[in-house]
Amino acid sequence: MTDDACDEQDVPASAARPARGAGRFGFVRRFGIREGGFLDAPSLDGVTGWARLRLTLGAPGAKRWYPGALISQVFIIGFILVPILTQLPAPGSWFWGLAVVVYGALFTVSFPVAMALPDRGRWIPPAGLLLLTLPFLLVLGPDLSGLWTYVAVSAALCFGGDFRAMIAVIGLSAVSFVMNLVDGALQPTNTPPWTMPLIILSIGTLMAAFTRNLQTLAQLRRTRKELAVIAVEEERNRVARDMHDILGHSLSAISLKADLAAKLADRDPAAAVAEIHEVQTLARATLGDMRAVVSGYRQVRIASELASLRTLLPAAGITAHLPMSTDDVPERNRELFGWALREAVTNVIRHAGATNCWVTLTPGRITIEDDGVGAAPRPADEPAGTGLHGLGERAADAGGALRIGRSRHGGFLLEVTA
């Protein structure tokens, strides 16, 4: 049992209105249980005393429990209350009849009362019901064990169907068997001594299992909500990571081309116009990439990235030393290596101040090096930049690793293995 809130107003419409014949979940909802049914407990954080009790007594789960609890008392009325009223003389019959009614009412509220108590105190309601049955020994004799069925049900609910509930159910059944066995020895009857103990054991065990099942359903629904939140967060992170990687690279290229066009405008207008046309092409491609990111269909390939770098790096005044082919790279690594190349070269153009850039490619590794200023020193507790962090996540998702450091040429090194 927990004090977790299970407010049914938070249930999505798709969960609140399942398709017909939805198996066990459909059965549960048809009986109005939902979200863990009568296992619901309102949020009790910071609530104490009578206010806490009022909150549990009026909780949605408690209100769903009351009708079933009242219906179950048909047994009390038929087999205990009616015999007392018809077989005992007044006013004793009215006194004991009122006691039976009070017992039934206390059984009805025993579970909501237990929800107001801490876990270590939830033995009190079933124990109280057990003590209230003892005076009935005066008028019912061993037949009072019929009331212990309700004690077993209360214990199963209040203890959440765990081992404590089963200890209580088995204990009640054993004591009932001994009482009926002794009574049968003193006053022989046609009723076997194990009849009522078996009823107590079967109903108590059934309620304990039912309670555990409902707890599991409630936990599954809470888990489903948590997974939905996690899925939204992961999708948000994916979009943010892809937007950073795409815009960082594309805007750097656009800025570089625009600067080059501005420098060529006076001395070579034709070349400047060509650069402006390339800026337009890059801008349109970036817009398409952004739309693909939102729709989840954006793919970066190592071959296309290398083709782009053959013109982009020289435009930035950087000599490119690139592999001639990507045929040896397996299909599963081409997208990851494409992202690695895009992130590394974007940093080379924007931050390195390099004049040369080397890309080494093998089937399971890509290495990008430059001869620029190298990686800036960063405190150990300071996280990597957004782009490198995202690239590290991509590598980890693919079962690989990201390594950054100083290159053989004195600049920055970025290596991804898969």
Amino acid at 22: A
pLDDT at 304: 77
For the chain, what are the domain ranges? Answer: 8-227, 300-418
Residue 291's Cβ-count burial label (10 Å; 0-12, 13-18, 19+) is exposed
- What's the DSSP call for residue 35? T
**DSSP helix/strand/coil, 124:** helix
- With a CB cutoff of 8 Å and minimum separation 6, the contacts of 189 are 183
Alpha helix (H) residue ranges in 42-143: 49-57, 60-71, 74-76, 82-87, 92-115, 124-133, 137-140
Cα-based angle 177, 183, 189 (whole degrees, multiple of 5): 100
pLDDT at 138: 86
> Tens place of pLDDT for every residue, the chain, 418 residues?
434 333 333 333 333 333 433 444 343 333 333 333 445 556 667 777 888 888 888 887 788 888 888 888 888 888 888 888 888 888 888 999 999 999 999 999 998 888 888 888 889 999 999 999 999 888 888 888 889 999 999 999 888 888 888 999 999 999 989 988 887 777 777 778 888 899 999 999 998 898 888 878 777 877 888 887 887 777 677 667 666 666 666 777 777 778 888 888 888 888 888 888 888 877 777 776 666 665 554 566 788 788 878 878 887 888 989 888 887 888 888 888 888 888 888 888 887 888 899 999 998 999 999 988 876 555 444 445 567 888 888 888 888 899 988 888 888 899 999 8
Q: What residues form DSSP beta bridges with 413?
A: 369, 405
Half-sphere exposure of 272 (CA within 13 A, CB side): 10
Residue 339 near residue 306 (C-beta atoms within 8 A) = no
pLDDT at 172: 93
pLDDT at 36: 36
| DSSP character string of 183-194 | HHHHS--SS-TT
Closest listed residue to residue 388, CA positions, set 376, 403, 399: 403
Domain 300-418 indexed as CATH 3.30.2270.10: no
- With a CB cutoff of 8 Å and minimum separation 6, the contacts of 66 are 108
